Structure 1
Amino acid sequence: MRAPLLACLLLAVPLQASRAQEAPMIVIEGLTPEEQAQPAPAATPEPVAPWLLPLRPVLETVQPGRVLRIQGQQAQAEFRLFLPQEALGGTLTLAQRSSIDVLPEASRIVVRLNGAEIGSFEPRQFGALGAVEMPLGTAARAGDNLVTIEAQHRHRIYCGADAEFNLWTDIDLSQSGLAMAGPALGTGPNAFIAALTAQAASGRPIEIRAAETPDADILRELAQVLGRPLPDEALPIALARPWTTSAGRSFARVTLLGSDTDRATIRRGGDGALVLVIEHQAGAAPRLALVEELLQDDAALPPPVLPQVPPGQTTTLAALGVPTIVTEERYFYRKLDFRLPDDWLLLASQKARIGIDYGFAEGLAEGALLLVKVNGTTVRMLPLDREAAPQKPRLEIPFPARLLRPGANRLAFEAIIPGNPPDEPCPAGQGELLAVLDTTDLTVPPSPRMRMADMAQDLAQVSPEAVQPATPEGLARALPFMSAFRDAAGGGQVRMTVAGIHDLGRMPLAEEGLTPRLLAMALLPSSAMRLDLPEVPVADAGADPLSPLGAAPGERTMPALVESNWLDRARAFTLATLEPALDGMRRLARPGDGELTEWFAARKGIAMLLSPEPGHLWVVLGPGAEPAKVATALAVAVHSPVGPRGQVSLLAEDGSWSSWSAPGLMPQLEEPVSLSNVRSVVGNVASARPPLLLGGMLGLAWISAAIAVAFVLRTRARSRS
């Protein structure tokens, strides 16, 4: 009876208004001026701002702010743009500005949609942001679209690697996208998904309104269904009461409504927002399968898939889908990401190999270099300022295989070419400076099937069903994480608990030196940790003849030499001298990233990912962390070689991860020991625990010595007899 009563109340409101308009106006003579007694003219409706369907950047981590910078002589950025059917004939708007060092006449910004160029312009906006509009054309499609912005910059004054860092174009994401009138947007599934992206980009949460707080399992499933059309993106979801007004503009929300039937429909709210209305029978759970059928979208962009490199085989760049790399840039960086099997592990002295085919132009300035990097470590520096050739003889680059990791890895080529001369603009039409041919290959040695505890592999096994809040009151904080993750390929056997900084006492802290206070200090801002130290009375500086000149009150003064203990000073000098050697010995005995307290002392972050026990991850959000942004950073980290690793990882404000690995972890063998793998197995164990190798070698030495002594004694006894 609730729904019919509500309908009667809603119908009664306009009826009363119409009767009031028909009633005669009463004028009290002498009190009401004649001009006020006249009916008021019809009010002019205020113009409604158009909706902005946003550009969503495709990055390997979360975007820290609303402005994305495209930096370098030749650089590009990729974005997703979800379009409903009604927006296919629209216009893309870019709010942009460029560095004053960019020469407009020789520079160009090219915009492509799904691989087809839809427009280009010269970067002439140097101060405030300026808008550039271009029609979508025929390349647009309903659903997710890929927008690529390619910047071709040229410096107006200087030439060289340093100068290229001053070439950039900024894109303001809060004002870029496709603008269209809200009423022009239909009430279809694609329109609602587009409204979800607009709501998420606005910085306000997507409200789930219900008369009573839904069950946790219902909210979990609803978050999954809402996030499924947008892979690797977290939705800012919040719970709200019905019949409330939002503080800001609303584009999309969800309403759970008791009814006499099970139904899922999309309607337009009184404020113009698109509302997903989920009706369910009283006392029964909503049938969210109806919502999944309604919102299923076949036009979503597929998630990124890294190419596989099979161990024991030679894989060329062409086999990885990478064509010949050519560049005209003075500073050049090209990354090539690939995957190794999750059970691949080599920690000893085995060698992997890169066979590089490359060439470079004649006359490059002195100091030009090509750096070959594996997971951030330079394995070879190649000079480019001598013996130039279009194609140099093939060069074999061996490097330690332990630089590679199970899962995602990165091979990178970085070139630094000074200008010649550096204080003049680069010559026009200089041509290609460097080429790395697609015949360049990578060979990774095989390994026994072994694994080592690493949160990167656990993160890939997190499914939405495995996400849980630390407390029932923190359910809303965990909803964005439920919307961000997808069903894991291995069954999703890893749990993830989302906690706040006040839930640290509930976390099992097994690592040596890991305490709730240590974690809190890493997540709290510096301003929150200032301590009011008591004032210490200090004697008059003039009374101490050895007091340093200009010593401020409260500053410690140097004690008298005659009162100092020479033994303490000698001990301090000895410790300071031997500390580097002792630290090296500790690292040799326990490989890893050192003491956890020292690691935390140099770092600050907004969120933290920990693996305190096998198969269980904890996400701890700092006071200033947005759950949706942290969830997005974790979702995209599954495909990235620069994501969280080890046992503790800290997310900085700029979106980068810093990881710590516990010392002395033992690898786990997942296949029987045989003659073919025993050497690699022993090498991995010995590299993980060097004391075991040292103890084994000493044990063998003692056994050999004992056998030799026994043999000598026995031989002498026989000779005497």
Structure 2
Amino acid sequence: MRSRCASFLLAVALMAQAAPRPATAQQIQLDNLPGLPEAEQQDPGQWRTPEPFEPRGRSTQANPQAETEPEPILLPLRPTRAQLGTDPGEYRIQGQFRTAEFSLLLPEAPTGASFTLTAQSAIDVLPERSEIRVSVNGTPIGTVGPNNFDAPHSDVLPVPDGVLRAGRNVVTLDVRHVHRVFCGPDAAFSVWTDIVLAESGVEVMPDALGTDPLSFLAAAGAELGRSRPVTIRTSGASFPIAEAAPVIARVGDIFGGLPPEIMFEEYYTINEGPPQLARVTVVPSGEMAADLPQFRRGGDGAIVLLANSGRYDETGALLLEALPAGETGNWPPLIEPGGPRALSDLGIADIEGRGRYVNEAVPFRLPRNWLLMASQRAELRLDYQYDTDLPDGALLLVKVNGTTIRLLPLDEAEAAGRDLDTLRVPFAANLLHPGINQLSFEALVPGDPPDEACVPRDAPIFRVDSTTELVVPRSPAMSVPDIRRVLEDIRPEGIGMSEAAQASLSLGILPQLAAVYASPRTDPEAAATRPPRLTVGIPSDISSMSGDIVQGNGSRLQEVLLTNVVAQTEQVDAWEGVNADRWWHIFYDVDRAARLPGEIRDWFLSIWRGPESELGAWLDGRAAEAMLIQPDMRTQDPGALWLIVRPGFDPKQVVASLAASHERFEGPTGQVSLFSMETGWSSWHASSRPLGLHEPLTFANARAVVGNYVTITPGRYILPLFTLALFSALVGMGIVLLSRRDRRR
């Protein structure tokens, strides 16, 4: 009896182990690769729905349709531009008046569709006066009230037939936030709405996702929306990032925003969690097929893109034919120096600022060999107007690359409500630099009263006309070593990873970086004589570097990456910096007064060595999660960059910031640039950077060339000039003394 009981218990245990797991259990996924048994091949057009487990002799008749009908799949929103400092699964819309655009990929044009928006707003938002207007492909479909404060909530809006189309759809959210208690610039930083991307979009049935390129891209977008990477399956051998870059870049251009996260797996993989919707499988080079690339249905129901190893251009062309590239990767317009360029020439319409805090930016580019570092002047010819009845103290700050060049009052009643005469605003040309620059208009309007919700105002606070012109002086073709300059030339084949990093970091960072730098050059001057390289490493790799930058600073650089970054808890002050550049500000700013002796000392030192500090002093008190470094800026290998990532740190935000640097000026520059989640990039420029002249020296450019040399290394010229002046003075005194002696005789 005891033996029978033991046998029965053993049989029950074996049955429990053999029973299928729920959706979160491990699944062995088999793709229909060449050479696999026929039983593992699935009909290319058949969606396979896993059948529920049912013990023999039992039947659950409660709801048979619920067991057999597949559930709909939500095709989620994806931001068209990467957002820094936020959870990748959410998109924050912050401010009083904001517009955000998202991409939505659909395999076909649905009928009777509904759009789901899942969001959560700050408790400071006044829902009665706030709203989110939703438009799809330019057609308004409804308005949602931001009244979900405790947790995300979903609102469903019907979409009229004919609005959604197969392929890429643009979803626009026009958000208006009103603070429930306060009114003013500071209140704008306390009102926000977080869009939950994985739960916002349009639902489709699984059978709408066929085995075609558009369905594959839509399914891959759904994977990314779930914060899951796109999987590439290989035979286990090393994967050639440079060869696969066209496919990776194709997916990145289509989805926009943060380049897709890539994960590498072997063919027969045990997968935990829900079945995949889409993946890429690379056929080994020894089993290449002539009919590839093509799409198949995997054993788990996923849409599998089969591609021949080493022939990724064909795969990229297949995806490109299905969905052309979007406009998310366009660089800012190029300004040719030497003459006035209107904003309308850059494709920019009138700029209208709404709300109590406004920051409207105009990015543009200058040629990569443009360089003026001395006292030359550029000019902004501003055409603008502002609204009537603005409270006292309203200001408009005009900035170039974050530096205020003019502070304009907006509270003068006699000038309000009409077009003003063109205002000429000269500024130092050395505020500009080669590559991406930014002209911005920042308005601060006090509350009236400040302790109540703002009174609705339909008219814009200010308007900058598209006739506004920017005049940039010409420059000799010169350059200095710079991280930004090297990054402009980086190509996927030049991206690699050190051996130490391969053991500590995910290989998925390589294809993400390849997607960032896979788009073709837009600047004809960007041809490098020697292909640059970007190597991903960890702090221990710094000790193996050689060059004038790391020499003597290796341990300090490693210490920065091993020091914990302290989160900043300071309250945002919108008025900070308005009068920060005024000399009299030190009389009531205790912190600045304490820094004054050090600033005076640095000013005297800069007369000899230039405006930059030493690297060791600059690194004091700093901490970072990642670092871009140019180890050698002179003769050995100036085109070699290292991206050092702290082990255990998720590099998604680093990749997002590098992707955003194509369109924003706040990116890595100089020779050492530190990245932290709190502050973004902070850069150090070496004072001994060698200047390069890329055109013959003539009388026309001699002044600008000499000015650049004197500015970057003043010590080399001040001492000879001082010696020459002293020698001339002594000679003059000698002549005077000799002439007096002659007179006495």
Q: What TM-score do you get using the length of structure 2 for normalisation?
A: 0.79
What's the offset of the Cα at 1:458? 1.2
2:259 aligned partner: 234
Q: Is the 8 A contact 1:111 1:118 kept in 2?
A: yes
CA distance in 2, matches of 1:122, 1:576: 48
**For the Cα contact (< 8 Å) 1:373–1:411, is it kept in 2?**
yes
SS of residue paired to 2:425:
strand
Distance in 2, matches of 1:455 and 1:689, equals: 20
In structure 1, what is the equivalent of residue 557 of structure 2? 519
Residue 199 of structure 1 aligns with which residue? 223
Cα shift at 1:464: 1.0
Check if 1:75 corresponds to 2:98.
yes
1:64 corresponds in structure 2 to 86
What is the aligned partner in structure 2 of residue 388 from structure 1? 415
What CA distance in whole angstroms lies between the structure 1 residues aligned with 2:78 and 2:682?
25
Q: 2:628 aligns with which of 592, 595, 609?
A: 609
- Contact 1:452/1:666, CA 8 A, preserved across alignment: yes
- The number of residues matched between the two structures is 644
Q: CA deviation at 1:95?
A: 0.9
Partner-residue secondary structure (3-state), 1:111: strand
Query: 1:339 and 1:508 mapped to 2: Cα distance?
Result: 33
1:486 match? 518
- C-alpha distance in structure 2 between counterparts of 1:512 and 1:506, whole Å: 10
Residues 224-373 of structure 1: pairs in structure 2 closer than 5 A = 224-231=246-253, 233-249=258-274, 250-257=276-283, 259=287, 261-262=289-290, 263-278=292-307, 285-297=309-321, 298-302=323-327, 303-373=329-399
The secondary structure found in structure 2 opposite 1:159 is coil
Structure 2: distance between partners of 1:238 and 1:352: 48
- Could you tell me whether the CA contact under 8 Å between 1:666 and 1:689 is conserved in 2? no
Specify whether residues 78 and 513 from structure 1 end up closer, same or farther in structure 2 by C-alpha distance, changes over 3 A only.
Answer: farther
Q: Distance in 1 between matches of 2:738 and 2:463?
A: 71
Comparing 419-428 with 399-408, which one deviates more in the overlay?
Answer: 419-428
Q: Structure 1 residues 52 and 514, CA, compared in 2 at 3 Å: closer, same or farther? A: farther
2:147 is equivalent to residue 118 of structure 1: no
2:604 corresponding residue in structure 1: 585
Q: Decide whether aligned partners of structure 1 residues 416 and 346 sit closer, same or farther in structure 2, where only a CA change above 3 A counts.
A: same
Question: What's the offset of the Cα at 1:185?
Answer: 0.7
Question: How does 1:422-571 map onto structure 2 within 5 Å?
Answer: 422-429=450-457, 431-471=459-499, 474=502, 477-489=509-521, 490-491=526-527, 493-511=531-549, 515-524=553-562, 526=564
Q: Which moved more, 1:469-478 or 1:602-611?
A: 469-478
Query: Cα distance, 1:313 vs. partner?
Result: 1.0
RMSD across aligned C-alpha pairs, in angstroms?
3.3
On the 8 A contact 2:248/2:511 being kept in 1, the answer is: no
Distance 1:602 1:304, change over 3 A: farther
What is the DSSP-based 3-state SS (H/G/I as helix, E as strand, rest coil) of the residue aligned with 1:196? helix
Cross-structure match for 2:589: none
Which residue is equivalent to 1:572? none
Q: How is 1:85-100 mapped onto 2 (pairs within 5 angstroms)?
A: 85=108, 90-100=113-123
Partner of 1:534: none
C-alpha distance in 2 between matches for 1:4 and 1:339? 50
Would the alpha carbon gap of residues 658 and 46 (structure 1) be closer, same or farther in structure 2, given more than 3 Å must change? farther
C-alpha distance in structure 2 between counterparts of 1:144 and 1:375, whole Å: 34
| Code of the aligned partner of 2:183 | C
Cα distance in structure 1, aligned partners of 2:425 and 2:358 = 20
Counterpart amino acid of 1:372? Answer: V
**Which one-letter code corresponds to 1:209 in the other structure?**
R
Distance in 1, matches of 2:518 and 2:454, equals: 48
Cα–Cα, structure 1 residues 330 and 237, in superposed 2: closer, same or farther, change >3 Å?
A: closer
Q: Which residue of 2 is the match for residue 558 of structure 1?
A: none
Alignment of 1:13-52 (within 5 A): 38=57, 40=59, 45=67, 50-52=72-74
Query: Which residue in the other structure is 1:661 paired with?
Result: 685
Structure 2 SS opposite 1:97: strand
Per-residue CA distance 1:649-689 (angstroms, 9 max, x = gap): 12222582222211232321111111111111111111101
- Asked if the contact 1:356–1:397 (Cα under 8 Å) also holds between the matched residues in 2, the reply is yes
Between the aligned partners of 2:498 and 2:34, the Cα distance in structure 1 is 41
Q: 1:380 Cα deviation (Å)?
A: 1.5
Whether the 8 Å contact between 2:137 and 2:163 is mirrored in structure 1 is yes
Deviates more, 1:519-528 or 1:176-185: 519-528
Whether the 8 Å contact between 1:208 and 1:256 is mirrored in structure 2 is yes
**Structure 1 stretches lacking a partner, 5+ long:** 12-35, 280-284, 529-574
C-alpha distance after superposition, 1:304-355 (max 9, x if no partner): 2312222121122222233333334221111111111111111111111122
Q: Distance in 2 between matches of 1:5 and 1:705?
A: 92
Contact 1:234 1:629 in 2 (8 A): no
Pair 1:708-2:732 in alignment:
yes
Cα distance in structure 1, aligned partners of 2:706 and 2:71: 68
> What is residue 162 of structure 1 aligned with on the other side?
186
Gapped regions of structure 2 (runs ≥ 5) = 1-31, 42-54, 567-593, 633-637
Is the alpha carbon distance of 1:240 and 1:135 closer, same or farther for their aligned partners in structure 2, counting shifts above 3 Å? same
User: What corresponds to 1:177 in structure 2?
Assistant: 201
| Maintained 8 Å contact 2:86/2:92 | no
Q: Structure 1 452/146 Cα, relative in aligned 2: closer, same or farther at 3 Å?
A: farther
Task: Decide whether aligned partners of structure 1 residues 514 and 58 sit closer, same or farther in structure 2, where only a CA change above 3 A counts.
Answer: farther
Residues 500 and 190 of structure 1: is their aligned pair in 2 closer, same or farther, counting only changes over 3 Å?
Answer: farther
> How far apart are 1:192 and its partner, in Å?
1.3
Residue pair 1:514, 1:596 contacting (<8 A) in 2 also: no
Q: Which amino acid aligns with 1:704?
A: S
Give the 3 Å change call, closer, same or farther, for CA 198–37 of structure 1 in structure 2. closer
8 Å contact 1:183–1:272 — kept in the other structure?
Answer: no
SS, match of residue 687 in structure 1:
helix
Q: Distance in 2 between matches of 1:605 and 1:75?
A: 31
Does structure 2 conserve the Cα–Cα contact (< 8 Å) formed by 1:358 and 1:434?
Answer: yes
Distance verdict in 2 for CA 1:37–1:436, change over 3 Å:
closer
Residues 95, 176 of structure 1: 8 Å contact kept = yes
- Aligned counterparts of 2:442 and 2:396: Cα–Cα separation in 1: 6
TM-score (norm 1): 0.81
Worse-matched range after superposition: 268-277 or 130-139: 130-139
- Contact map agreement 2:625 2:646 (CA 8 A) in 1: yes
What is the distance in 2 between the residues matched to 1:623 and 1:162? 37
SS at match of 1:101: coil
Counterparts of 2:288 and 2:333 in 1: how far apart (Å)? Answer: 51
2:661 equivalent to 1:637: yes
Q: Secondary structure at the match of 2:315?
A: helix
Percent identity, aligned pairs only, is: 36
Q: 1:503 to 1:692 in 2, by over 3 A?
A: closer
Per the TM alignment, residue 292 of structure 1 is displaced from its structure 2 partner at its CA by 2.5
Q: What's the CA shift for 1:512? A: 5.6
Equivalent of residue 642 in structure 2, options 618, 630, 635: 618
Give 3-state SS (helix, strand or coil) of 1:195's partner. helix
Mapped partners of 1:5, 1:164: distance in 2:
61
- Residues 421/607 of structure 1: CA separation in 2 closer, same or farther (3 Å cut): same
Please give the alpha-carbon distance, in whole angstroms, between the structure 2 residues aligned to 1:502 and 1:512: 13
Rounded Cα–Cα distance in structure 2 between residues aligned with 1:129 and 1:688: 53
